[in-house]
Chains A and B, each alone.
Chain A
């Protein structure tokens, strides 16, 4: 069975207590989700409004990614949504965290995830697929 290596990166990120949801997304589309059961239940009640807000943020990302836009974040009720843009693309690594989370620590692991995903994206196609037993 072959696993999407980007999904494995998202699985790792989702194991952190304060990461309630994470995905690779662009406007109107979630490209990669974590491979397990999906997001943590806390986000269910707010997911619809976050999804709509994300699309608006991605409009800005689409316009300014080429100009060096690196990160964006928005605060919605008791949550924050972090966008880590993949350079010169309209895609971003997106995470939903509680508003009171120690964000500085999470940012480091978001950056690590972005770097890993970028490396995967830059790999030749045949090396991307991870074979599992």
Chain B
């Protein structure tokens, strides 16, 4: 009996016109498959917003893709595939395999009600795969990441100096999140609900982004472009899929206690009993005069982190400065925190620590933090070089997102910023 062959291929387009790019990325992805694709993952940088729009982009994809192919994806800061590293363009992965059942799911209003969005998405997946019996179960999801809010009279800003406004701002951001769907993305809340509903599935996750300005992002679900949503591809398959998260960050001895939070547990109000920002700057060896538009260039390499209940390190960027308070991306679960050290060497070593490739490996898919891309710059070609060494002529695709993570029964749930998450088939 002839063993069915797993086929996967990566496509790409560097065209500027949205429709032409959509066509090209689909053509180049499926031309090397001998059978119609069973699923299609699609990632694009934000540039098509101004060069035809994403609906035109998707229309171009569907000019080529067979009708009914399950498609999900979203906007990303950049991507790596066997051809190179890019922060402009589109890439896709198409796969075909007889011993696999696929379903896609969608949930909306992720910032307003992340748990409900998780349930909507999970329900679609459960319905789609209810008659599937393959042993190994895997999900890849992409959801809308955080958006910098635009405050009345202040415009879009990440530094609010007024202490009066900062005292009001946690409630203001709540309002913005729930009504306007701007602000924090609540990825952690959605992820925790999602894996509760689908505990048998391993998963890699990413937050769709633009060019890390966090001004807008889009998700793709079949023929539709959406915002503030989650879309997921789920599969039951007879090929094992290994999922793992590494970071490459190291803990320093600059520890501190988060002594006061707001009700959302994302606004840090005081550290070591003192107002949060001045104390944070002391710990980071910064001066208060450094709090200007260049601050992110300085604190970018100084993430903070804490251990989750099951001992996983959660690293986060410092997001928005509000008077004496500051926002982090994820709900604080542990008041004992530390400053983390980020280095290019650490980021690259985390790739070697993560990847295991065997003679049975069919493909690799990776979600990775856009902050790593910002940190590495053109040295991201060192990442591509390592991936090519591991995968040889097998296809792989890495996309850069904002907020990411993974789940498996072996490793549990891991999420944060600065992570590198792999799903290796076979």
- Residue positions of A touching B, CB distance < 8 A: 12, 15-16, 71, 99-100, 102-112, 115
Question: Are B374 and A102 in touch, CB under 8 angstroms?
Answer: yes
The majority secondary structure among interface residues of chain B is: mixed
Question: Are A105 and B294 in touch, CB under 8 angstroms?
Answer: no
Question: Are B376 and A15 in touch, CB under 8 angstroms?
Answer: no
Asked if B84 is at the interface of the complex by the 8 Å CB criterion, the answer is yes
A and B contact pairs by CB, cutoff 8 A, 11 listed: A99-B294, A102-B213, A103-B377, A104-B376, A105-B78, A105-B212, A108-B87, A108-B373, A108-B378, A108-B380, A112-B85
Which of B78, B88, B212, B378 counts the most chain A CB atoms within 10 A? B378
Task: Other than A102-B374, A111-B381, give 12 A-B pairs with Cβ distance below 8 A.
Answer: A12-B16, A102-B213, A104-B373, A105-B77, A105-B78, A106-B87, A107-B378, A108-B78, A108-B86, A108-B380, A111-B85, A112-B84
B residues near A111, Cβ cutoff 8 Å: 85, 378, 381
Question: Are B378 and A110 in touch, CB under 8 angstroms?
Answer: yes
Question: Are B16 and A108 in touch, CB under 8 angstroms?
Answer: no
B residues near A12, Cβ cutoff 8 Å: 16
Nearest A residue to B84, CB-CB: A112
Question: Are B212 and A102 in touch, CB under 8 angstroms?
Answer: yes
Question: Are B211 and A102 in touch, CB under 8 angstroms?
Answer: yes
Asked if B375 is at the interface of the complex by the 8 Å CB criterion, the answer is yes
Asked if B3 is at the interface of the complex by the 8 Å CB criterion, the answer is no
Nearest A residue to B77, CB-CB: A105
Asked if B67 is at the interface of the complex by the 8 Å CB criterion, the answer is no
9 A-B pairs closest in CB distance: A107-B377, A104-B374, A111-B378, A105-B87, A107-B378, A104-B377, A108-B87, A108-B85, A105-B211
Q: Scan residues 63-112 of chain B and give those whose CB is less than 8 A from a CB of chain A.
A: 77-78, 84-88
Asked if B410 is at the interface of the complex by the 8 Å CB criterion, the answer is no
B residues near A115, Cβ cutoff 8 Å: 84
A residues near B211, Cβ cutoff 8 Å: 102, 105
Which listed residue (A15, A71, A103, A110) contacts B16, Cβ 8 A? A15
Bound CA–CA A108/B373 (angstroms): 9
CB distance from A123 to the nearest CB of B (A): 19
A residues near B373, Cβ cutoff 8 Å: 104-105, 108
B residues near A15, Cβ cutoff 8 Å: 16
Nearest A residue to B375, CB-CB: A104
